[in-house]
Amino acid sequence: MRHLFRPIDLGSVTLRNRIVFPPMTTGYEEKGMVTPRSRTFYRNIARGGAGLVIIGDVSVQPSFAPTPFVHDDTFVPGLRQLVDQVHAEGARIAAQLFHQEYDTADIGRVMQAEGREAARQQLHRDMEDYCNRLTADDIAAILDRFRGAARRVRAAGFDLIQVHGDRLVGMFTSGLLNKRTDQYGGPLRNRARFALEVVRAIRETVPDVPIEYKLSIIRTDPPMGKAGPTLEEAQVLAGWLEEAGVVSFHVALADHGSIGDTIPAMGTQPYGCFADLAEGITRVAHVPVTAVGRILDPGFAEGLLESGKADLVGIGRGLIAEPGWPRGVERGNVDDLRMCIMCNHCASSLMSNQPLRCAINATVGEPEPVTIAPAAARRRILVIGGGPAGMEAAHIAARRGHEVMLVERESRLGGQLPLCSAPPYKHEISRLTQFLTNQVARRNVEVRLGAKTPVSDLLDEIRPDAVVVATGASPVRLPVPGSDRANVVTAWDVLAGSAAVGPRAAIVGGGAVGVETALLLAPRGIQITIVEMLEKIAAGESPTILPFIHAQLKRYGVRVLTQHRLASVEADGLSAAAPDGTTLAIQCDTVVMATGTWRNPTFGDEIGARGLECHVVGDCTDGSPGTLAGAIHDGFKAGMSV
């Protein structure tokens, strides 16, 4: 890794390595103010070894968005604390200054006068047209906002300023969104004028602070993104920006399209999916260039630098899941790294107006640093169940010094994880299975597979001080006539590869499991019909992956029948009931049940009768969300509590 860990200069600032935490919204700020949660999050990234930490979406105007603000001096002390803590860990820090593609004050007035729906409509109009309605006075006022923000950023001690070349700035540079006919519209030189004015305004205000530019680029084949130039235009724009004072470029895909394009989920885009854009800028730029986009594997990252496609690599979701990625890679401890699976739980939490959390790292988003410290006394811990919740609890408890035994009734560890990773676009989940399995082994957890011993006998034999119950759930077959026929199988059986499926299959249940099963079978040439009682399929899936799912279903000709309930199973198919009471016969060879689960036994009577400390975690918990995040977070808490 001689390239990845070599220092590099961005203007007058030297980074200790080429690893960048890119700008990402976290939702940790409160009314624009940095919080303890913000400081803990970014300090963990810096402590893990990143060379540069970029604080995303630092707003130069008042906003209702959950991002940091810097439009007023009152925000400087909190930002100063954040900067000092990142510096204390040896990393450099940049503030990404941006202006939204809307006027927050105007949106607020509409909200007050006409209500939430009118404000939402105004917001959507602005996001397509705002740059075209700004007057010369409006533009001058916005440039003043950038000047004031730059002064405050310098006062807070930031090492660099990154100009967000998407959002409003990107709208101006875009041939798709910029419809102006004055000096700010038309040919690229005019469309670039506002971006160059922003850079010059910052440089003139704080000439001692290096400026990086986030160059967000539109793809033309296939069309992706709107708020930015095309690659050919960006190559020209890069030269103008260098002349204006930019010392480095951070290259990404332009926004204002599908969120799944800019934050591609597992299996939807190749690794390094935007590296070609960075390479296109590297070929013409005279300053360092950062590449982003599903960069996770250390060898892949090193290869990008060695080949000259980029000078730095931005690793976002990977450092959220594992802040210690840089130090772990540098020391060769890759097996101990909790590698991101690109499930986009982080993005989905933000899109649900919740602070950023990580599905596979329960410590992300905590207000104070979480330390896995030795327990006060060594205890004997029994973990029942070897799925994600059980394995997480087991290795965390073992790290704290406990003697841990994990029993699993199946012949392998992983629980539902191997089923989840069976669909071709979800194979990255196997990284989590491998990590947890490695950790259980490396922490000397005693594992018993194929354990059929009654729990009461286990308790007699092991005599634990505490028990963690992680028995999971099992699939349900709907109790309708014919559900016990030989042509009926469960989705779990199909995903496990233990059930044969005929050339025509009907999948009952269009939730995540049903859709995943459809996209496992359809590429094999099997004719699929999904029968779902709700109005939509894939409820609960990340919005970042839904467009991909629907595109794949369409690609493979999967028939989707919503608002229909399974009425009965016949020898040659099934009967589905519509809301109006009519029934529809669907001819098929195999009926696949993807109709939910029931909780497995938690052995409360046996454990309670002995007065043992007991922690019930994961899918077997009453009220469990039935998600991977729920299992991992439950397991972590149990491992920290025993």
Would you say residue 127 lies in a domain? no
Q: Which residues neighbour 497 within 8 Å (Cβ) at sequence distance 6 or greater?
A: 422
* Cα four-point dihedral sign 76, 81, 82, 84: positive
- Residues 345-390: tens digit of each pLDDT: 999 999 888 999 999 999 999 999 999 999 999 999 999 999 999 9
Q: Is the pLDDT of residue 259 over 90?
A: no
Does some domain include residue 220?
A: yes
Q: Is the pLDDT of residue 65 over 90?
A: no
Do 499 and 469 belong together in one domain? no
pLDDT digits (tens, 9 = 90+) for 43-56: 999 999 999 999 99
Considering the domain architecture, whether residues 158 and 269 belong to the same structural domain is answered as: yes
Residues paired with residue 447 on neighbouring β-strands, in sequence order: 406
Of 332, 351, 370, which residue sits at a domain end? 351
Confidence of residue 164 (pLDDT cuts 50, 70, 90): very high
Q: Are residues 89 and 217 in the same domain?
A: yes
Helical segments of 94-244, H only: 104-114, 116-133, 136-156, 167-173, 188-191, 193-205, 231-244
Residue 536 sits in a domain whose CATH number is 3.50.50.60
Same domain, 156 and 19: yes
One domain, residues 430 and 563: no
* Band of residue 127 on the pLDDT scale cut at 50, 70, 90: confident
Q: 593-632, pLDDT tens digit by residue?
A: 999 999 999 999 999 999 999 999 999 999 888 899 999 9
Residue range 305-319: mean pLDDT, rounded? 98
Predicted pLDDT at 216: 97
Q: Is 384 helix (H, G, I), strand (E, B) or coil?
A: strand
Examine the domain organization and report whether 407 and 261 are in the same domain: no
Half-sphere exposure of 285 (CA within 13 A, CB side): 31
CATH no. for residue 153?
3.20.20.70
Q: Is residue 360 included in any domain, yes or no?
A: no
For 136-152, what is the mean pLDDT? Answer: 97
Query: Has residue 105 got a pLDDT over 90?
Result: no
86 located within any domain:
yes
Is there a cis peptide before residue 479, judged by omega within 30 degrees of 0?
A: no
Which amino acids are annotated catalytic? Answer: 167
Rounded to whole angstroms, what are the CA distances from 210 to 40, 50, 99, 207? 26, 19, 19, 8
pLDDT band at 123 (very low <50, low <70, confident <90, very high): confident
Considering only CA atoms, which of 500, 511, 518 is closest in space to residue 556? 518
Domain membership of residue 534 as a residue range: 488-595
Indicate the DSSP class of residue 274: T
What is the percent of the chain with per-residue pLDDT over 90, rounded to a whole number? 90
Task: Please check whether residues 588 and 629 belong to one and the same domain.
Answer: no
pLDDT band at 582 (very low <50, low <70, confident <90, very high): very high
pLDDT of residue 245: 98
pLDDT above 80 for 257: no
Residue 539 has pLDDT above 90, yes or no: no
Given a cut of 90, is residue 277 above it in pLDDT? yes
Mean pLDDT over all residues of the chain?
96
Element holding 8 (H helix, E strand): strand 8-10
Domain assignment present for residue 236? The answer is yes
Residue at 358 is within a domain: no
Asked whether residue 495 falls in the same domain as residue 533, the answer is: yes
CA–CA distance, 384 with 163 (Å, rounded to integer): 52
Q: Are residues 587 and 605 part of one domain?
A: no
Which pLDDT score is estimated for 477?
93
pLDDT in tens, 171-197: 999 999 999 999 999 999 999 999 999
255 neighbors 225 (Cβ within 8 angstroms): yes
Q: What is the 3-state secondary structure (H, E, C) of 298-337?
A: HHHHHHHHHCCCCCEEECCHHHHHCCCHHHHHHHCCHHHC
Residue 466 covered by a domain: yes
Measured CA angle at 23 (ends 308, 119), to 5 deg? 135
pLDDT of residue 441: 97
**Residue 96: pLDDT band with limits 50, 70, 90:** very high
Task: Tell me how many domains the chain contains.
Answer: 3
CATH number at residue 449: 3.40.50.720
Q: What is the pTM of this model?
A: 0.95
pLDDT digits (tens, 9 = 90+) for 484-515: 999 999 999 999 999 999 999 999 999 999 99
The predicted structure's pLDDT at residue 108:
85
The 3-state DSSP class for residue 24 equals coil
Same domain for 329 and 459, yes or no, is no
Q: Are residues 203 and 240 in the same domain?
A: yes
Residues 18 and 147 in one domain: yes
* 128 in a structural domain: no
Cβ pair 323, 369 in contact under 8 A: no
